[in-house]
Chain A
Amino acid sequence: MINSPYIRKPASVQGVMLAVLIALVPAIVVYASQIAAVVLVNLTIATIAALAGEALVLKLRGRPLAPALSDLSAVVTAWLLALCFPPILPWWATALGVLIAIVAVKHLYGGLGQNPFNPAMVAYCAMIVAFPALMSQWPAAGQLDFATQLGLVLGGARELDAIASATALDTIKTGLRTAGATVESIMGQSENFGLVSGRGWEWLAPAYALGGMYLLARGIITWHMPAAFLGALAAISAAFWLVDPAHYASPLFHLASGGAMLGAFFIVTDPVSGATTPRGKLIFAACIALVAYIIRSFGAFPEGVAFAVLLLNICVPLIDMNTQPRVFGHRGDKAR
């Protein structure tokens, strides 16, 4: 027997995931047109790998295929990874990364909704640790023609030095190790910098933000995490920058570089592995920004968002437990 309520809002997990995919479209368009068209190939490879991996595990676990495959959650993970990885990553590395995310992280924890860690970020970190060289080969925007890009992705000789140019974050970090170098001098020297960050790459930031607005408007995400994440990142970087502008990049640079915007709207906001209470979301996202900034500026890796997310994933139960909102009618006595 079905019990009340007898009516349901026409909402579905599939709908939520689809909204996320739609929200990624502006960034994909910018990416493909400004930076590397091969990203479209990567997205396809990642999608296939994700669905195949998901199907395989479901089969092994004896679960029905259709509901899980059609909920699109695997595709979301695949797309996020493809967008995080360098666009010229060989196809097998992209596929491997996606399989790590789906098989190892998502399903070993019990499938959709069960994973305490963000699957895409676990896979990203695993790949960085396992293939540091491959994972740091980024082309400058528009540097390689499509045939070359495709050749690199599908395998073939890789002449690293010829194609690899460090990301904006990386350039700044390594550049500052030289005596006398300042942020300004580094940015002035390299033609890979645009107005505020990496040339071409900096346009990804507004595109992700646009998608984020869409998610906010649809009510898929709430303002808490993006606001706290971007706010905290801006505040911390501003503090350092104001004290020593020669050796710390501006807040604008930080917001427009690396995974900041993608992180703010699409990664930090992963509901399954993130904090859930309103105050918890603020704390969670702000802490990620703090850790990411520290890794970016002082750590061994050029980009910090992924590691920061994983670190904070561990703290989620603690954060949630201590930020339970007040229940209706219970003024001043918070739930424990």
Chain B
Amino acid sequence: MITRLFGFKGGVKPESHKNESSGPPIQKGPIPKRLVIPLRQSIRSTARCLVQPGQKVLKGEHIGEGEGGLGTSVHASTSGTVVEIAPYPMAHASGMETLSVVIEPDGEDRWIDHTPLDLRAVSREEALAWLRGCGIVGMGGAGFPTHVKIGGGQGIETLVINGAECEPWITCDDRLMRERAAEVLSGAMILRELIGAKQVLVGIEDNKPEAIAAMQAAASKLGDGIAVVPVPTLYPAGGEKQLIRVLTSVEIPQGKLGTDFGVQCFNVGTAHAVHRAICFGEPLVSRVVTLTGNVARPGNYEVLLGTQVAELLQLAGPKADTDRYIMGGPMMGTELQSLSVPVTKGTNCVISASPALFPPPPPELPCIRCGACARACPAELQPFELYWFSRAKNFGKAQEYHLFDCIECGCCAFVCPSRIPLVDYYRFAKGEIWARERERQASDQARERFEFRNYRQEREKEEKAAKLAAKAAETRAKLADTGEPAPAPAEAEDPKKALIAAALARAKQQQAAVAPRNTEDLSADVQAEIADIDARREKLNQQDADKAP
């Protein structure tokens, strides 16, 4: 299969720092003393707890039932005893707490019975339900339920497997591809079957030659229809939309899904988990996490979900001058507020940061409109304009300049010679816009209700008057030709209904008319992000309120 590569505009080339952690093979992390498994697996859904304190569980046992369309199952990551069900901080910038199941492992790591699923024997729906039951979600970070993403699989031409791993420092996907290429590709073939794609393209940044070689070797055994394609090393080549662009030339606008354009994209880790789930019936209970940065033993560790970061870090041995920890990569990751947060399905990396490795940026200078940010922006935005409008709180303009197309990749802030923390301004503006949006919607609803009540009262008055008039006319008519009672205006019901319908339609129209541009059709990711921001703000407000005397 010959593939032509396409470019995306912008992008930056930060120092990769991959060598630090990519050398040693994946090591199995020990069973920690305690596992904290959040029931809230993503911002979108919280699982219903199925266990009670004191209950014994086995590895892979169902402990949370996914609820709603976006829910997936939650499992015990090892055998042991449930000791507590209580709110614990989750891995999130806000340090938000969420209901979690705390398990004390018994050290035996005993599995529940599990059997593979014969894809040929089941329907597509059953296979998707199986993945949902195994708790498979996107492992690239967003954590979007895989069965949902597969779900819309109609008219998909190309399945893209994302092995680009463009963030500096992170190497978990690299190691996974080097060591478990066949398994990753097996998962890819299952995904291909489930979404009905014709071809599979695996995109890997060309700074990972070993991973490319391993994957190509594995792919050659699978025959046609699958190609491992080295893509130029350029952050953010691993952004889903950027990778799709590079491999297929398709540009997916913000708010749209790949399915609409005949492409669907999954992370290599996800493909691997799909393989385990189908070929072994294993629920997703562990993942590979890169521990790197200012540590004695950087590397990749396969750890149980629910392992707390503090315990995880012991594996790598952070050095004494570590001053903070970054979860995720240095371009898009977040600083951890607490080391008690657990590893979740989206945790790919924890970086120990020291002032030497990650010096604080020098003070911010005014924007000189040099345009470096615009040249670096993969979304082809004008970051300095967005910055200006966000700063001036001119949110309408910011939206007009496509604020919500910003993927917060950080390229603009990375290159800015004035060292303006540009992304912070966008986060602020997005949060503000969303908050206002909510307020407006609430007040719209209130107003509608109010208007409708007024209208109803008026209508009732009119009806009463009409009835009285009718009655008067009737009486008059009766008096006029004694006998023959005129038919009562029973059809009054019908016009009434029509009036109500009209009012509702009007209200709906009004609501639709005031929706702002560029927040329509938000993708689930963006919505989740906004929910995040809301939660953060809520927390800040709370803090402020607490502080206020």
Q: Which of A291-336 contact B (CB under 8 A)?
A: 320, 324-331, 335-336
Q: Which of A111, A113, A331 contacts B251 (CB 8 A)?
A: A331
CA A310 – CA B414 in complex, angstroms? Answer: 32
B400 touches A336 (CB 8 A): yes
Q: Using Cβ atoms and an 8 Å threshold, which residues of chain A touch B252?
A: 329
The answer to the question of B262 belonging to the interface, with a C-beta cut-off of 8 Å to chain A, is no
Q: Using Cβ atoms and an 8 Å threshold, which residues of chain A touch B374?
A: 276-277
Q: Using Cβ atoms and an 8 Å threshold, which residues of chain B touch A331?
A: 251
B9 touches A328 (CB 8 A): yes
The answer to the question of A2 belonging to the interface, with a C-beta cut-off of 8 Å to chain B, is yes
B384 touches A276 (CB 8 A): yes
B333 touches A6 (CB 8 A): yes
Q: Which of A1, A274, A329, A336 has the most CB of B within 10 A?
A: A329
CA A73 – CA B368 in complex, angstroms? Answer: 10
Q: Which of B332, B417, B423 contacts A13 (CB 8 A)?
A: B417
How many residues from B make CB contacts under 8 Å with A?
A: 62
In the assembled complex, how far is the CB of residue B80 from the closest CB belonging to chain A, in whole angstroms? 35
The answer to the question of A177 belonging to the interface, with a C-beta cut-off of 8 Å to chain B, is no
**A329-B405, A335-B402, A336-B400 given as contacts; is B416 within 8 A of A11 (CB)?**
yes
CA A111 – CA B9 in complex, angstroms? Answer: 32
CA A277 – CA B374 in complex, angstroms? Answer: 9
A sample of 14 cross-chain residue pairs with beta-carbon separation below 8 angstroms, ordered by A number, consists of A4-B328, A4-B330, A4-B333, A5-B413, A7-B331, A8-B416, A11-B417, A13-B368, A219-B375, A277-B374, A327-B402, A328-B251, A328-B378, A335-B401
- B396-425 toward A: CB 8 Å interface, digit per residue (1/0)? 000011100100101001111111010110
A12 touches B417 (CB 8 A): yes
A112 touches B405 (CB 8 A): no
The answer to the question of B326 belonging to the interface, with a C-beta cut-off of 8 Å to chain A, is yes
CA A16 – CA B14 in complex, angstroms? Answer: 19
CA A190 – CA B421 in complex, angstroms? Answer: 58
The answer to the question of B372 belonging to the interface, with a C-beta cut-off of 8 Å to chain A, is yes
The answer to the question of B228 belonging to the interface, with a C-beta cut-off of 8 Å to chain A, is no
In the assembled complex, how far is the CB of residue B323 from the closest CB belonging to chain A, in whole angstroms? 11
Q: Using Cβ atoms and an 8 Å threshold, which residues of chain A touch B360?
A: 2
Q: Which of A27-42 contact B (CB under 8 A)?
A: none
Q: Which of A211-226 contact B (CB under 8 A)?
A: 219-220, 222
The answer to the question of B256 belonging to the interface, with a C-beta cut-off of 8 Å to chain A, is yes
A327 touches B423 (CB 8 A): no
A5 touches B419 (CB 8 A): no
In the assembled complex, how far is the CB of residue B254 from the closest CB belonging to chain A, in whole angstroms? 6
Chain A residue at minimum C-beta to C-beta distance from B372? A11
Q: Using Cβ atoms and an 8 Å threshold, which residues of chain A touch B427?
A: 3
A5 touches B370 (CB 8 A): no
CA A57 – CA B339 in complex, angstroms? Answer: 48
The answer to the question of A188 belonging to the interface, with a C-beta cut-off of 8 Å to chain B, is no
Q: Which of A111, A271, A327 contacts B369 (CB 8 A)?
A: A271
The answer to the question of B32 belonging to the interface, with a C-beta cut-off of 8 Å to chain A, is no
A7 touches B382 (CB 8 A): no
The answer to the question of B174 belonging to the interface, with a C-beta cut-off of 8 Å to chain A, is no
Chain B residue at minimum C-beta to C-beta distance from A11? B417
The answer to the question of A9 belonging to the interface, with a C-beta cut-off of 8 Å to chain B, is yes
Q: Using Cβ atoms and an 8 Å threshold, which residues of chain A touch B363?
A: 67
**A5-B330, A9-B415, A11-B416 given as contacts; is B368 within 8 A of A276 (CB)?**
no
The answer to the question of B371 belonging to the interface, with a C-beta cut-off of 8 Å to chain A, is yes
Q: Which of B9, B368, B378, B401 contacts A112 (CB 8 A)?
A: B368
Q: Which of A90-123 contact B (CB under 8 A)?
A: 111-114
Q: Using Cβ atoms and an 8 Å threshold, which residues of chain A touch B358?
A: 6-7
Q: Using Cβ atoms and an 8 Å threshold, which residues of chain A touch B365?
A: 13, 67, 71, 112-113
Q: Using Cβ atoms and an 8 Å threshold, which residues of chain B touch A71?
A: 365
**A277-B382, A329-B256 given as contacts; is B371 within 8 A of A7 (CB)?**
no
The answer to the question of B335 belonging to the interface, with a C-beta cut-off of 8 Å to chain A, is yes
The answer to the question of A15 belonging to the interface, with a C-beta cut-off of 8 Å to chain B, is yes
CA A277 – CA B369 in complex, angstroms? Answer: 10
In the assembled complex, how far is the CB of residue B167 from the closest CB belonging to chain A, in whole angstroms? 10
A276 touches B8 (CB 8 A): no
In the assembled complex, how far is the CB of residue B358 from the closest CB belonging to chain A, in whole angstroms? 5
Given contact pairs A3-B427, A4-B328, A6-B333, a sample of 11 additional A-B residue pairs in the complex whose CB atoms are under 8 Å apart = A6-B331, A8-B361, A9-B12, A11-B417, A13-B368, A16-B368, A67-B363, A112-B368, A113-B367, A320-B385, A328-B8
CA A156 – CA B86 in complex, angstroms? Answer: 88
B168 touches A7 (CB 8 A): yes
The answer to the question of A141 belonging to the interface, with a C-beta cut-off of 8 Å to chain B, is no
Chain B residue at minimum C-beta to C-beta distance from A73? B368
The answer to the question of A144 belonging to the interface, with a C-beta cut-off of 8 Å to chain B, is no
A335 touches B423 (CB 8 A): no
The answer to the question of B241 belonging to the interface, with a C-beta cut-off of 8 Å to chain A, is yes
Q: Using Cβ atoms and an 8 Å threshold, which residues of chain A touch B188?
A: none
- B1-39 toward A: CB 8 Å interface, digit per residue (1/0)? 000000011001011000000000000000000000000
A3 touches B241 (CB 8 A): no
Q: Which of B14, B384, B385, B400 contacts A9 (CB 8 A)?
A: B14
